[in-house]
Amino acid sequence: MPKQSQITVGAAIAKFLEHCDVRAAFGVISIHNMPILDAIHEYGKIRFVMARGEAGATNMADSFARSTASLGVSITSTGTAAGNAAGGMVEALTAGTPLLHLTGQIETPYLDQDLAYIHEAPDQLSMLKAVSKAAFRVRSVQTALPVIKKAVQIALTAPSGPVSVEIPIDIQAALIDEPTDWAPLHVPQVQVDKEAIADLANQLAGARRPLLWLGGGARRAGKAVKRLMDMGFGVVTSTQGRGIVPEDDARSLGSYNLHKPVENFYQTCDAMLVVGSRLRGNETLKYQLKLPRPLFRIDADPAADGRGYETQGFVCADSALALDALADALEGRMKVDPAFAADLDAAHQEARKSLIDGLGPYGQLVQAIQQAAGRNFNWVRDVTVSNSTWGNRELRVFDAQAGVHALGGGIGQGLAMGIGAAIGTATHDRSRKTVALSGDGGFILNLGELACAVQEKAPVVYVLMNDRKYGVIQNIQDAQYGGRRCYVDLHTPDYAQLCKSIALAHEKVSDLSQVGDVLRRALDSNGPFLVEIDMPAIGTFKTAFAGPPTKVVS
Protein backbone atom coordinates (compact mmCIF):
# COMPACT_ATOMS: atom_id res chain seq x y z
CA MET A 1 0.00 0.00 0.00
CA PRO A 2 1.30 3.46 -0.80
CA LYS A 3 2.04 5.88 1.99
CA GLN A 4 -0.69 8.47 2.43
CA SER A 5 1.76 11.14 1.28
CA GLN A 6 2.54 9.27 -1.94
CA ILE A 7 0.76 9.41 -5.29
CA THR A 8 1.45 7.99 -8.72
CA VAL A 9 3.21 10.02 -11.37
CA GLY A 10 -0.02 9.84 -13.37
CA ALA A 11 -1.90 11.37 -10.45
CA ALA A 12 0.72 14.10 -10.11
CA ILE A 13 0.27 14.99 -13.78
CA ALA A 14 -3.52 15.12 -13.36
CA LYS A 15 -3.24 17.35 -10.30
CA PHE A 16 -0.76 19.67 -12.02
CA LEU A 17 -3.18 20.12 -14.92
CA GLU A 18 -5.77 21.27 -12.38
CA HIS A 19 -3.29 23.90 -11.17
CA CYS A 20 -2.96 25.04 -14.80
CA ASP A 21 -6.74 25.70 -14.73
CA VAL A 22 -7.33 22.97 -17.29
CA ARG A 23 -11.08 22.37 -17.25
CA ALA A 24 -11.38 19.73 -19.96
CA ALA A 25 -9.17 17.15 -21.65
CA PHE A 26 -9.88 15.04 -24.71
CA GLY A 27 -8.71 11.59 -25.64
CA VAL A 28 -9.15 7.83 -25.79
CA ILE A 29 -8.42 5.62 -22.78
CA SER A 30 -5.80 2.91 -23.21
CA ILE A 31 -3.56 0.62 -21.19
CA HIS A 32 -0.75 3.09 -21.80
CA ASN A 33 -2.44 6.17 -20.33
CA MET A 34 -4.67 4.71 -17.60
CA PRO A 35 -2.70 6.01 -14.58
CA ILE A 36 -3.34 9.58 -15.77
CA LEU A 37 -6.98 9.06 -16.70
CA ASP A 38 -7.74 7.08 -13.56
CA ALA A 39 -6.51 10.04 -11.52
CA ILE A 40 -8.48 12.57 -13.60
CA HIS A 41 -11.59 10.50 -12.91
CA GLU A 42 -10.88 10.15 -9.19
CA TYR A 43 -10.14 13.84 -8.64
CA GLY A 44 -13.23 14.81 -10.64
CA LYS A 45 -12.18 18.38 -11.43
CA ILE A 46 -11.28 18.02 -15.12
CA ARG A 47 -13.94 17.00 -17.61
CA PHE A 48 -12.61 14.19 -19.77
CA VAL A 49 -14.27 14.00 -23.18
CA MET A 50 -14.26 10.50 -24.62
CA ALA A 51 -13.43 11.02 -28.27
CA ARG A 52 -13.84 8.07 -30.61
CA GLY A 53 -10.40 8.54 -32.12
CA GLU A 54 -7.17 10.33 -31.36
CA ALA A 55 -7.44 12.52 -34.46
CA GLY A 56 -10.78 13.84 -33.28
CA ALA A 57 -9.54 14.23 -29.71
CA THR A 58 -6.66 16.44 -30.81
CA ASN A 59 -8.92 18.57 -33.02
CA MET A 60 -11.26 18.96 -30.05
CA ALA A 61 -8.44 20.03 -27.74
CA ASP A 62 -7.23 22.49 -30.39
CA SER A 63 -10.64 24.09 -30.84
CA PHE A 64 -11.26 24.15 -27.09
CA ALA A 65 -8.00 26.06 -26.61
CA ARG A 66 -8.70 28.56 -29.38
CA SER A 67 -12.27 29.29 -28.31
CA THR A 68 -11.44 29.70 -24.60
CA ALA A 69 -7.97 31.30 -24.83
CA SER A 70 -6.63 28.54 -22.60
CA LEU A 71 -4.45 25.42 -22.72
CA GLY A 72 -5.84 22.49 -24.70
CA VAL A 73 -5.04 18.94 -23.57
CA SER A 74 -5.13 15.79 -25.68
CA ILE A 75 -4.37 12.40 -24.11
CA THR A 76 -3.59 9.43 -26.34
CA SER A 77 -1.96 6.05 -26.19
CA THR A 78 1.39 5.34 -27.79
CA GLY A 79 2.33 3.95 -31.21
CA THR A 80 -0.56 3.90 -33.66
CA ALA A 81 -2.66 6.08 -31.36
CA ALA A 82 0.01 8.77 -31.21
CA GLY A 83 0.26 8.56 -34.99
CA ASN A 84 -3.50 9.06 -35.26
CA ALA A 85 -3.07 12.38 -33.48
CA ALA A 86 -0.43 13.64 -35.93
CA GLY A 87 -2.83 15.38 -38.33
CA GLY A 88 -4.49 17.26 -35.49
CA MET A 89 -1.06 18.25 -34.19
CA VAL A 90 -0.12 19.65 -37.60
CA GLU A 91 -3.29 21.73 -37.56
CA ALA A 92 -2.56 23.01 -34.05
CA LEU A 93 1.02 23.80 -35.08
CA THR A 94 -0.19 25.73 -38.12
CA ALA A 95 -2.66 27.68 -35.99
CA GLY A 96 -0.22 28.31 -33.14
CA THR A 97 -2.54 26.66 -30.62
CA PRO A 98 -1.23 26.15 -27.07
CA LEU A 99 -1.87 22.44 -26.69
CA LEU A 100 -0.37 19.73 -24.49
CA HIS A 101 -0.38 16.28 -26.10
CA LEU A 102 0.25 13.57 -23.50
CA THR A 103 0.96 10.17 -24.97
CA GLY A 104 2.11 6.94 -23.40
CA GLN A 105 5.12 4.80 -24.07
CA ILE A 106 5.97 1.18 -23.36
CA GLU A 107 7.87 0.11 -20.24
CA THR A 108 11.37 1.56 -20.06
CA PRO A 109 13.19 -1.83 -19.84
CA TYR A 110 11.89 -2.74 -23.32
CA LEU A 111 11.98 0.68 -24.95
CA ASP A 112 14.04 1.32 -28.10
CA GLN A 113 15.14 -2.33 -28.48
CA ASP A 114 13.14 -3.22 -31.61
CA LEU A 115 11.31 -5.98 -29.76
CA ALA A 116 8.03 -5.51 -31.68
CA TYR A 117 6.46 -4.67 -28.34
CA ILE A 118 2.74 -3.90 -28.58
CA HIS A 119 1.98 -0.19 -29.08
CA GLU A 120 5.61 0.74 -29.70
CA ALA A 121 6.45 2.82 -32.77
CA PRO A 122 10.12 3.00 -33.79
CA ASP A 123 11.51 6.46 -33.10
CA GLN A 124 8.14 7.83 -32.05
CA LEU A 125 9.78 10.89 -30.53
CA SER A 126 11.09 12.00 -33.93
CA MET A 127 7.56 11.77 -35.34
CA LEU A 128 6.24 13.85 -32.45
CA LYS A 129 8.97 16.46 -32.94
CA ALA A 130 7.99 16.79 -36.60
CA VAL A 131 4.38 17.73 -35.75
CA SER A 132 4.98 19.72 -32.55
CA LYS A 133 6.56 22.97 -31.45
CA ALA A 134 8.61 20.75 -29.14
CA ALA A 135 8.49 17.13 -27.97
CA PHE A 136 9.92 15.37 -24.93
CA ARG A 137 10.27 11.92 -23.43
CA VAL A 138 10.01 11.50 -19.67
CA ARG A 139 13.08 9.43 -18.80
CA SER A 140 12.75 9.06 -15.04
CA VAL A 141 10.23 9.20 -12.25
CA GLN A 142 12.00 12.18 -10.71
CA THR A 143 11.86 14.31 -13.87
CA ALA A 144 8.26 13.55 -14.87
CA LEU A 145 6.58 16.60 -13.34
CA PRO A 146 9.39 19.03 -14.27
CA VAL A 147 9.15 17.88 -17.90
CA ILE A 148 5.37 18.41 -17.93
CA LYS A 149 5.82 21.86 -16.39
CA LYS A 150 8.36 22.78 -19.05
CA ALA A 151 6.09 21.46 -21.81
CA VAL A 152 3.18 23.62 -20.65
CA GLN A 153 5.41 26.69 -20.45
CA ILE A 154 6.67 26.15 -24.00
CA ALA A 155 3.16 25.56 -25.35
CA LEU A 156 1.92 28.85 -23.87
CA THR A 157 4.96 30.98 -24.73
CA ALA A 158 4.51 33.09 -27.86
CA PRO A 159 4.66 32.07 -30.59
CA SER A 160 2.52 29.39 -28.95
CA GLY A 161 2.05 25.88 -30.26
CA PRO A 162 1.44 22.21 -29.45
CA VAL A 163 3.94 20.27 -27.34
CA SER A 164 4.04 16.48 -27.07
CA VAL A 165 5.28 14.46 -24.10
CA GLU A 166 5.64 10.67 -24.17
CA ILE A 167 5.57 9.01 -20.76
CA PRO A 168 6.47 5.31 -20.32
CA ILE A 169 3.72 3.40 -18.56
CA ASP A 170 5.95 2.16 -15.74
CA ILE A 171 6.84 5.76 -14.94
CA GLN A 172 3.17 6.79 -15.03
CA ALA A 173 2.32 4.08 -12.49
CA ALA A 174 5.32 4.67 -10.20
CA LEU A 175 4.79 6.11 -6.73
CA ILE A 176 6.38 9.39 -5.69
CA ASP A 177 6.17 11.60 -2.65
CA GLU A 178 3.40 14.10 -3.26
CA PRO A 179 4.96 17.31 -4.60
CA THR A 180 4.69 20.50 -2.59
CA ASP A 181 5.16 22.88 -5.52
CA TRP A 182 2.31 22.67 -8.02
CA ALA A 183 2.76 26.12 -9.52
CA PRO A 184 3.10 26.29 -13.31
CA LEU A 185 6.26 27.90 -14.64
CA HIS A 186 6.12 31.59 -15.52
CA VAL A 187 5.17 32.20 -19.15
CA PRO A 188 7.50 34.93 -20.42
CA GLN A 189 6.39 37.69 -22.77
CA VAL A 190 8.65 39.22 -25.38
CA GLN A 191 9.18 42.66 -23.90
CA VAL A 192 9.05 45.90 -25.85
CA ASP A 193 12.21 47.66 -26.98
CA LYS A 194 11.38 51.30 -26.27
CA GLU A 195 13.75 52.60 -28.93
CA ALA A 196 12.28 50.29 -31.57
CA ILE A 197 8.75 51.44 -30.70
CA ALA A 198 9.81 55.08 -30.76
CA ASP A 199 11.34 54.60 -34.21
CA LEU A 200 8.20 52.85 -35.47
CA ALA A 201 6.02 55.63 -34.05
CA ASN A 202 8.11 58.28 -35.78
CA GLN A 203 7.65 56.50 -39.11
CA LEU A 204 3.89 56.08 -38.63
CA ALA A 205 3.18 59.53 -37.19
CA GLY A 206 3.15 61.14 -40.62
CA ALA A 207 0.83 58.57 -42.20
CA ARG A 208 -2.46 59.95 -43.43
CA ARG A 209 -4.01 56.61 -44.37
CA PRO A 210 -2.54 53.94 -42.03
CA LEU A 211 -3.83 50.36 -41.99
CA LEU A 212 -3.38 47.54 -39.46
CA TRP A 213 -3.30 43.90 -40.67
CA LEU A 214 -4.15 41.74 -37.64
CA GLY A 215 -3.38 38.03 -37.42
CA GLY A 216 -4.00 35.35 -34.81
CA GLY A 217 -1.01 36.55 -32.82
CA ALA A 218 -2.90 39.77 -32.05
CA ARG A 219 -5.95 38.06 -30.54
CA ARG A 220 -5.21 39.39 -27.05
CA ALA A 221 -4.37 42.89 -28.22
CA GLY A 222 -7.94 44.11 -28.76
CA LYS A 223 -7.79 47.02 -26.30
CA ALA A 224 -4.60 48.40 -27.82
CA VAL A 225 -6.01 47.95 -31.33
CA LYS A 226 -9.04 50.00 -30.35
CA ARG A 227 -6.78 52.81 -29.12
CA LEU A 228 -5.07 52.96 -32.52
CA MET A 229 -8.40 52.79 -34.35
CA ASP A 230 -9.63 55.74 -32.31
CA MET A 231 -6.59 57.63 -33.63
CA GLY A 232 -7.70 56.87 -37.19
CA PHE A 233 -6.06 53.56 -38.11
CA GLY A 234 -8.09 51.25 -40.32
CA VAL A 235 -8.08 47.47 -39.88
CA VAL A 236 -8.01 44.36 -42.03
CA THR A 237 -7.56 40.85 -40.61
CA SER A 238 -6.42 37.42 -41.59
CA THR A 239 -8.95 34.64 -41.12
CA GLN A 240 -7.12 33.76 -37.91
CA GLY A 241 -7.40 37.34 -36.67
CA ARG A 242 -11.16 37.63 -37.09
CA GLY A 243 -13.15 39.12 -34.26
CA ILE A 244 -10.30 41.11 -32.69
CA VAL A 245 -12.39 43.99 -33.97
CA PRO A 246 -16.14 43.25 -34.11
CA GLU A 247 -16.88 42.72 -37.78
CA ASP A 248 -19.71 45.21 -37.91
CA ASP A 249 -17.29 48.04 -37.09
CA ALA A 250 -17.21 50.29 -40.18
CA ARG A 251 -13.51 51.01 -39.60
CA SER A 252 -12.63 47.39 -40.35
CA LEU A 253 -12.50 45.45 -43.63
CA GLY A 254 -12.89 42.25 -41.63
CA SER A 255 -11.12 39.40 -43.42
CA TYR A 256 -11.96 40.73 -46.88
CA ASN A 257 -8.22 40.95 -47.38
CA LEU A 258 -7.59 39.99 -51.04
CA HIS A 259 -10.59 41.09 -53.09
CA LYS A 260 -9.96 43.49 -55.96
CA PRO A 261 -11.75 46.51 -54.42
CA VAL A 262 -9.69 45.99 -51.28
CA GLU A 263 -6.41 45.65 -53.16
CA ASN A 264 -7.25 48.87 -54.98
CA PHE A 265 -7.91 50.49 -51.61
CA TYR A 266 -4.52 49.27 -50.35
CA GLN A 267 -2.90 51.38 -53.06
CA THR A 268 -4.39 54.51 -51.48
CA CYS A 269 -2.90 53.70 -48.05
CA ASP A 270 0.46 55.13 -47.10
CA ALA A 271 1.47 52.65 -44.37
CA MET A 272 0.60 49.14 -43.19
CA LEU A 273 1.49 47.59 -39.84
CA VAL A 274 1.18 43.78 -39.79
CA VAL A 275 0.70 42.41 -36.28
CA GLY A 276 0.94 38.72 -35.36
CA SER A 277 0.30 37.40 -38.86
CA ARG A 278 2.27 35.10 -41.13
CA LEU A 279 0.72 36.71 -44.24
CA ARG A 280 -0.08 33.21 -45.49
CA GLY A 281 0.12 32.42 -49.18
CA ASN A 282 -3.57 31.65 -49.62
CA GLU A 283 -4.49 35.02 -48.11
CA THR A 284 -1.98 37.02 -50.14
CA LEU A 285 -2.33 35.41 -53.59
CA LYS A 286 0.92 33.51 -52.99
CA TYR A 287 2.59 36.68 -51.71
CA GLN A 288 1.67 38.66 -54.84
CA LEU A 289 -1.12 40.73 -53.24
CA LYS A 290 -0.10 44.38 -53.48
CA LEU A 291 0.06 45.54 -49.89
CA PRO A 292 0.58 49.17 -48.84
CA ARG A 293 4.08 50.54 -48.50
CA PRO A 294 5.93 51.13 -46.28
CA LEU A 295 5.14 47.84 -44.54
CA PHE A 296 6.06 47.30 -40.89
CA ARG A 297 5.66 44.23 -38.70
CA ILE A 298 5.26 43.41 -35.02
CA ASP A 299 5.67 39.75 -34.07
CA ALA A 300 6.82 37.66 -31.13
CA ASP A 301 8.72 35.46 -33.58
CA PRO A 302 11.95 37.12 -34.76
CA ALA A 303 11.91 34.89 -37.86
CA ALA A 304 8.79 36.72 -39.09
CA ASP A 305 10.89 39.68 -40.22
CA GLY A 306 10.92 39.70 -44.02
CA ARG A 307 9.01 36.44 -44.36
CA GLY A 308 6.80 36.54 -47.47
CA TYR A 309 7.12 40.32 -47.80
CA GLU A 310 10.04 42.69 -47.42
CA THR A 311 9.55 44.93 -44.41
CA GLN A 312 10.68 48.48 -43.80
CA GLY A 313 10.65 48.07 -40.03
CA PHE A 314 10.30 45.20 -37.54
CA VAL A 315 9.63 45.06 -33.80
CA CYS A 316 9.98 41.72 -32.01
CA ALA A 317 7.59 41.89 -29.05
CA ASP A 318 4.35 40.69 -27.57
CA SER A 319 1.59 42.19 -29.71
CA ALA A 320 -0.51 43.63 -26.88
CA LEU A 321 2.49 45.19 -25.14
CA ALA A 322 3.89 46.58 -28.39
CA LEU A 323 0.63 48.07 -29.64
CA ASP A 324 -0.09 49.64 -26.27
CA ALA A 325 3.36 51.23 -26.25
CA LEU A 326 2.87 52.36 -29.84
CA ALA A 327 -0.44 53.97 -28.95
CA ASP A 328 1.27 55.83 -26.11
CA ALA A 329 3.98 57.05 -28.49
CA LEU A 330 1.45 58.20 -31.11
CA GLU A 331 -0.96 59.94 -28.73
CA GLY A 332 -1.90 63.31 -30.23
CA ARG A 333 0.39 62.94 -33.25
CA MET A 334 -1.83 61.35 -35.91
CA LYS A 335 -3.48 63.51 -38.57
CA VAL A 336 -5.44 60.96 -40.59
CA ASP A 337 -7.15 61.88 -43.88
CA PRO A 338 -10.81 62.70 -43.04
CA ALA A 339 -11.94 60.65 -46.07
CA PHE A 340 -9.97 57.53 -45.08
CA ALA A 341 -12.66 55.79 -43.01
CA ALA A 342 -15.35 56.35 -45.63
CA ASP A 343 -13.07 55.06 -48.39
CA LEU A 344 -12.30 51.93 -46.35
CA ASP A 345 -15.98 51.25 -45.76
CA ALA A 346 -16.78 51.77 -49.44
CA ALA A 347 -14.14 49.21 -50.47
CA HIS A 348 -15.49 46.78 -47.88
CA GLN A 349 -19.07 47.14 -49.07
CA GLU A 350 -18.06 46.73 -52.72
CA ALA A 351 -16.19 43.51 -51.91
CA ARG A 352 -19.11 42.22 -49.82
CA LYS A 353 -21.60 42.96 -52.57
CA SER A 354 -19.53 41.01 -55.09
CA LEU A 355 -19.15 38.03 -52.76
CA ILE A 356 -22.83 37.87 -51.82
CA ASP A 357 -23.86 38.13 -55.47
CA GLY A 358 -21.66 35.12 -56.26
CA LEU A 359 -23.43 32.97 -53.66
CA GLY A 360 -26.63 32.73 -55.66
CA PRO A 361 -29.33 31.10 -53.49
CA TYR A 362 -26.94 30.57 -50.57
CA GLY A 363 -26.92 34.25 -49.68
CA GLN A 364 -30.21 33.49 -47.95
CA LEU A 365 -28.51 30.80 -45.85
CA VAL A 366 -25.77 33.19 -44.71
CA GLN A 367 -28.33 35.77 -43.68
CA ALA A 368 -30.42 33.16 -41.84
CA ILE A 369 -27.46 31.85 -39.82
CA GLN A 370 -26.44 35.39 -38.84
CA GLN A 371 -29.97 36.27 -37.75
CA ALA A 372 -30.49 33.05 -35.81
CA ALA A 373 -27.08 33.03 -34.09
CA GLY A 374 -26.93 36.75 -33.32
CA ARG A 375 -23.64 38.00 -31.93
CA ASN A 376 -22.82 35.49 -29.18
CA PHE A 377 -21.73 32.32 -30.97
CA ASN A 378 -18.67 30.30 -31.94
CA TRP A 379 -18.22 30.01 -35.70
CA VAL A 380 -16.35 26.76 -36.46
CA ARG A 381 -15.56 25.82 -40.05
CA ASP A 382 -14.14 22.81 -41.82
CA VAL A 383 -12.42 23.08 -45.20
CA THR A 384 -15.31 23.17 -47.64
CA VAL A 385 -16.46 25.19 -50.64
CA SER A 386 -18.93 27.09 -48.49
CA ASN A 387 -16.30 28.15 -46.01
CA SER A 388 -13.87 29.21 -48.72
CA THR A 389 -16.53 31.29 -50.47
CA TRP A 390 -18.34 32.87 -47.53
CA GLY A 391 -17.62 31.23 -44.17
CA ASN A 392 -14.18 32.77 -43.84
CA ARG A 393 -15.46 36.27 -44.53
CA GLU A 394 -19.14 37.09 -44.67
CA LEU A 395 -20.73 35.48 -41.62
CA ARG A 396 -19.63 38.08 -39.09
CA VAL A 397 -17.98 37.30 -35.76
CA PHE A 398 -17.63 39.67 -32.85
CA ASP A 399 -15.08 38.18 -30.48
CA ALA A 400 -11.44 37.23 -30.95
CA GLN A 401 -12.05 33.67 -29.70
CA ALA A 402 -15.27 33.09 -31.65
CA GLY A 403 -13.78 32.04 -34.99
CA VAL A 404 -12.22 28.58 -35.37
CA HIS A 405 -11.34 26.99 -38.70
CA ALA A 406 -9.07 24.34 -40.15
CA LEU A 407 -6.24 26.73 -40.91
CA GLY A 408 -3.89 24.12 -42.36
CA GLY A 409 -6.32 23.12 -45.10
CA GLY A 410 -6.95 19.51 -44.05
CA ILE A 411 -10.57 18.45 -44.53
CA GLY A 412 -12.54 16.52 -41.95
CA GLN A 413 -11.49 18.37 -38.80
CA GLY A 414 -14.53 20.61 -38.39
CA LEU A 415 -16.84 18.01 -36.87
CA ALA A 416 -14.51 17.41 -33.92
CA MET A 417 -13.61 21.09 -33.68
CA GLY A 418 -17.29 21.84 -33.20
CA ILE A 419 -17.34 19.56 -30.16
CA GLY A 420 -14.22 21.17 -28.68
CA ALA A 421 -15.61 24.69 -28.99
CA ALA A 422 -18.97 23.59 -27.57
CA ILE A 423 -17.32 21.92 -24.58
CA GLY A 424 -15.38 25.14 -24.06
CA THR A 425 -18.58 27.12 -23.64
CA ALA A 426 -19.88 24.53 -21.17
CA THR A 427 -16.74 24.56 -18.99
CA HIS A 428 -16.24 28.32 -19.05
CA ASP A 429 -19.78 29.30 -18.02
CA ARG A 430 -20.69 30.95 -21.27
CA SER A 431 -24.13 31.11 -22.82
CA ARG A 432 -22.84 31.11 -26.38
CA LYS A 433 -23.81 28.41 -28.83
CA THR A 434 -21.50 26.83 -31.38
CA VAL A 435 -22.31 26.65 -35.09
CA ALA A 436 -20.06 24.35 -37.15
CA LEU A 437 -19.97 24.40 -40.96
CA SER A 438 -18.90 21.28 -42.86
CA GLY A 439 -19.09 19.74 -46.29
CA ASP A 440 -20.16 16.12 -46.70
CA GLY A 441 -16.77 15.04 -48.06
CA GLY A 442 -14.90 16.11 -44.95
CA PHE A 443 -17.70 15.35 -42.50
CA ILE A 444 -17.47 11.61 -43.03
CA LEU A 445 -13.76 11.44 -42.14
CA ASN A 446 -14.49 11.78 -38.41
CA LEU A 447 -18.11 10.63 -38.51
CA GLY A 448 -17.70 8.53 -35.37
CA GLU A 449 -17.30 11.71 -33.33
CA LEU A 450 -21.02 12.37 -33.77
CA ALA A 451 -21.51 9.69 -31.11
CA CYS A 452 -19.13 11.64 -28.88
CA ALA A 453 -21.16 14.82 -29.45
CA VAL A 454 -24.36 13.03 -28.42
CA GLN A 455 -22.80 11.38 -25.37
CA GLU A 456 -21.34 14.69 -24.19
CA LYS A 457 -24.54 16.62 -24.97
CA ALA A 458 -22.31 19.14 -26.73
CA PRO A 459 -24.26 22.33 -27.57
CA VAL A 460 -23.26 22.45 -31.23
CA VAL A 461 -25.33 22.97 -34.38
CA TYR A 462 -23.79 21.35 -37.45
CA VAL A 463 -24.63 22.95 -40.79
CA LEU A 464 -23.80 20.20 -43.26
CA MET A 465 -23.50 21.35 -46.88
CA ASN A 466 -24.33 18.07 -48.61
CA ASP A 467 -23.69 17.99 -52.37
CA ARG A 468 -22.68 14.28 -52.39
CA LYS A 469 -19.23 15.04 -53.78
CA TYR A 470 -15.87 16.72 -53.32
CA GLY A 471 -17.26 19.97 -54.69
CA VAL A 472 -14.07 22.02 -54.81
CA ILE A 473 -12.13 19.23 -56.55
CA GLN A 474 -14.86 18.97 -59.19
CA ASN A 475 -14.67 22.74 -59.74
CA ILE A 476 -10.89 22.53 -60.15
CA GLN A 477 -11.33 19.71 -62.67
CA ASP A 478 -13.78 21.87 -64.60
CA ALA A 479 -11.46 24.89 -64.53
CA GLN A 480 -8.05 23.28 -65.01
CA TYR A 481 -8.52 19.75 -66.38
CA GLY A 482 -10.87 20.28 -69.29
CA GLY A 483 -13.93 19.23 -67.34
CA ARG A 484 -12.64 15.67 -66.88
CA ARG A 485 -14.32 14.66 -63.63
CA CYS A 486 -13.08 11.66 -61.69
CA TYR A 487 -13.01 10.37 -58.11
CA VAL A 488 -15.28 13.10 -56.76
CA ASP A 489 -18.75 11.52 -56.52
CA LEU A 490 -19.44 10.14 -53.05
CA HIS A 491 -21.79 7.53 -51.69
CA THR A 492 -23.32 9.48 -48.82
CA PRO A 493 -25.21 8.19 -45.77
CA ASP A 494 -28.89 8.80 -45.24
CA TYR A 495 -28.32 11.25 -42.43
CA ALA A 496 -31.89 11.05 -41.17
CA GLN A 497 -31.46 7.33 -40.48
CA LEU A 498 -27.91 7.73 -39.23
CA CYS A 499 -28.88 10.45 -36.77
CA LYS A 500 -31.89 8.49 -35.56
CA SER A 501 -29.67 5.52 -34.79
CA ILE A 502 -27.52 7.58 -32.39
CA ALA A 503 -30.28 9.84 -31.01
CA LEU A 504 -28.93 12.96 -32.74
CA ALA A 505 -31.49 15.63 -33.64
CA HIS A 506 -31.64 16.19 -37.41
CA GLU A 507 -33.56 18.23 -39.95
CA LYS A 508 -33.02 18.32 -43.71
CA VAL A 509 -33.49 21.59 -45.59
CA SER A 510 -34.38 21.35 -49.28
CA ASP A 511 -35.94 24.82 -49.50
CA LEU A 512 -34.03 27.73 -47.99
CA SER A 513 -37.24 29.55 -47.14
CA GLN A 514 -37.45 27.04 -44.25
CA VAL A 515 -33.89 27.39 -42.99
CA GLY A 516 -34.44 30.24 -40.53
CA ASP A 517 -37.04 28.30 -38.55
CA VAL A 518 -34.91 25.16 -38.61
CA LEU A 519 -31.85 27.03 -37.34
CA ARG A 520 -33.81 28.63 -34.52
CA ARG A 521 -35.08 25.22 -33.41
CA ALA A 522 -31.56 23.84 -33.60
CA LEU A 523 -30.07 26.67 -31.55
CA ASP A 524 -32.83 26.37 -28.94
CA SER A 525 -32.22 22.65 -28.48
CA ASN A 526 -30.18 21.05 -25.71
CA GLY A 527 -27.28 19.13 -27.15
CA PRO A 528 -26.07 18.60 -30.72
CA PHE A 529 -28.25 19.14 -33.79
CA LEU A 530 -27.51 18.38 -37.45
CA VAL A 531 -29.00 20.72 -40.07
CA GLU A 532 -28.48 19.07 -43.45
CA ILE A 533 -28.53 21.42 -46.44
CA ASP A 534 -29.69 19.52 -49.53
CA MET A 535 -27.56 21.29 -52.13
CA PRO A 536 -28.74 19.35 -55.22
CA ALA A 537 -32.31 20.42 -54.39
CA ILE A 538 -31.36 24.05 -53.75
CA GLY A 539 -28.96 24.67 -56.62
CA THR A 540 -25.39 25.78 -57.25
CA PHE A 541 -23.39 28.86 -56.38
CA LYS A 542 -23.60 31.59 -58.99
CA THR A 543 -19.79 31.80 -59.00
CA ALA A 544 -17.90 28.51 -58.70
CA PHE A 545 -14.99 28.29 -56.27
CA ALA A 546 -12.07 26.45 -57.88
CA GLY A 547 -9.42 26.47 -55.18
CA PRO A 548 -7.46 29.22 -53.46
CA PRO A 549 -7.17 32.25 -55.76
CA THR A 550 -3.84 32.92 -57.40
CA LYS A 551 -4.92 36.21 -58.90
CA VAL A 552 -7.00 38.99 -57.46
CA VAL A 553 -10.69 38.12 -57.18
CA SER A 554 -13.30 40.70 -58.00
What are the structural domains of the chain? 6-177 (3.40.50.970), 194-349 (3.40.50.1220), 359-538 (3.40.50.970)
Q: Quickly state the pLDDT bin for 120 (edges 50, 70, 90).
A: confident
Q: How far is CA 118 from the centre of its chain?
A: 34
Average of per-residue pLDDT values in the chain = 96
> Does residue 338 have a cis peptide bond before it, meaning omega lies within 30 degrees of 0?
no
**Mean pLDDT on 413-437:** 94
Residue 553, pLDDT > 70, answer no
Q: What is the pLDDT, as a whole number, of residue 1?
A: 45
Mean pLDDT of all residues in 519-526: 96
168 vs 553, residue with greater confidence: 168
What integer pLDDT is reported at residue 11 of this predicted model?
98
- Residue 533 predicted with pLDDT over 70: yes
Q: Rounded to whole angstroms, how far apart are CA atoms 458 and 402?
A: 16
Over residues 177-192, the mean pLDDT reads 96
Could you read off the pLDDT of 446-489 as tens digits, one per residue? 999 999 999 999 999 999 999 999 988 898 899 899 999 999 99
Question: Which positions ≥6 away from 276 have C-beta within 8 Å?
Answer: 214, 215, 216, 217, 218, 219, 221, 241, 298, 299, 300, 319
pLDDT at 97 over 70: yes
Distance between the two ends of the chain, CA-based, in angstroms?
72
Q: What percent of the chain has pLDDT over 90?
A: 92
Tally of residues, the chain: 554
Average pLDDT of the residues in 2-10: 83
pLDDT surpasses 70 at 554: no
**Chain Cα centroid distance, residue 380:** 8
pLDDT at 550 over 80: no
Mean pLDDT value across residues 217-236: 98
| H or E segment to which residue 303 belongs | none
pLDDT of residue 117: 87
**Dihedral sign of CA atoms 534, 508, 365, 284 in order:** negative
Assess whether pLDDT exceeds 50 at residue 186: yes
Q: What is the pLDDT at residue 546?
A: 72
User: Mean per-residue pLDDT for 165-178?
Assistant: 98
